[in-house]
Amino acid sequence: MLVLFYLILFNFFVIFVKQFMERFTTKDLEELPSRQRAHLINSISGYKSANLIATRSEDGVPNLAIFSSVVHLGSNPALLGFVMRPIGVERHTYDNIKSTLHYTINAITKEMYRDAHHTAAKYKEHESEFTMTSLEESYKDGFQAPYVKQSPIQIGCRWVNEYPIEENGCILIVGAVESIYVVPELLHSDHWAQLDRMDIMTIVGLDGYALPNLEDRLEYAKPNQSQNSILNGSQKD
Ligand SMILES: Cc1cc2nc3c(=O)[nH]c(=O)nc-3n(C[C@H](O)[C@H](O)[C@H](O)COP(=O)(O)O)c2cc1C
Instruction: Write out the chain's pLDDT in tens, 237 residues.
Output: 677 777 777 777 777 666 789 999 999 999 999 999 999 999 999 999 999 999 999 999 999 999 999 999 999 999 999 999 999 899 999 999 999 999 999 999 999 999 999 999 999 999 999 999 999 999 999 999 999 999 999 999 999 999 999 999 999 999 999 999 999 999 999 999 999 999 999 999 999 999 999 999 999 999 999 999 999 876 654
Indicate if ligand 1 lies below 6 Å from the C-beta of 138: no
Ligand 1 centroid vs 120 CA: distance in angstroms? 5
Ligand 1 centroid vs 26 CA: distance in angstroms? 26
Query: What are the strands, taking DSSP E only, across the chain?
Result: 48-49, 51-56, 62-67, 71-75, 78-84, 102-107, 137-138, 147-148, 153-165, 170-182, 202-204, 208-210
3-state DSSP call for residue 186?
helix
Query: What is the position in ligand 1's atom list of the atom closest to the CA of 129?
Result: 26
* Cα gap 205→1, rounded to integer Å: 49
Q: What is residue 188's predicted lDDT score, i.e. its pLDDT? A: 96
* Cα gap 67→88, rounded to integer Å: 18
What is the length of the chain?
237
* Cα gap 82→70, rounded to integer Å: 4
User: What does the buried/exposed string (b/e) look like for 67-87 if buried means 16 or more CB atoms within 10 Å of the residue's CB?
Assistant: bbbbeeeeeeeebbbbebeee
Decide: 107 and 151 in contact? Cβ < 8 Å.
Answer: yes
- State how far the alpha carbon of 71 is from the alpha carbons of 77, 127, 136, 210, in Å: 14, 28, 24, 18
Q: What pTM did the predictor assign?
A: 0.92
Q: What is residue 104's predicted lDDT score, i.e. its pLDDT? A: 98
